[in-house]
Amino acid sequence: MRSTSATCRERPCRPPSRGFTLVSVIFILVVLALLGAALAQVALRQQLGSAAEVEQARALQTARAGLEWAAFQVLTGSTAPGCFAATSLNADGLAGYTVTVNCTRSTGTDGAATPVFYTLVANACNAPAAGACPSTAAPPSITYVERQLSWTVVR
């Protein structure tokens, strides 16, 4: 003979609820999967940002190299030369980068002396248009990097 409780006599007895654990486990797995996807996205963006910073540093070094080349051109020799035409150079140590250097010459007076001023502008980029920087392609690629530096030297 089975013993029944007072509540089972008044209404039909149901077995205890089952399946709640399964729902909880599925919910936790979905939350963990979303958290993992979010962390992967953050890591990817951080990596892309770091790569962009490296490319920007390379463009800056290419522009500096172009300015040093231009300063050497106008500061060497016994007389003050005229400006050179806009020149595009490929940096040997920075493959994939091009620098375009422009020069503007002007003279001034300082008492009896007439100094010659050279304004040197270097544009460096990693995707030159027609072999020169800055790129005029519209719009440039997402990985396009450009840096512009200028010096004024006196001779």
d(CA 130, CA 97): 13
- Peptide bond before residue 134 is cis, with ω within 30 degrees of 0: yes
d(CA 153, CA 83): 12
Q: Helix, strand, coil shares of the chain as percentages rounded to 5?
A: 40, 25, 35
pLDDT at 3: 58
Query: Under 8 Å CB-to-CB from 52, ≥6 apart: which residues?
Result: 143, 145
pLDDT at 64: 96
d(CA 116, CA 96): 34
> Could you read off the pLDDT tens digit of each residue along the chain, which spans 155 residues?
555 555 556 667 776 667 778 889 999 999 999 999 999 999 998 988 888 899 999 999 999 999 999 999 999 977 778 899 999 998 777 888 999 999 999 999 888 888 999 999 999 999 888 889 988 877 778 889 999 999 999 98
Give pTM, 2 decimals: 0.72
d(CA 101, CA 91): 12
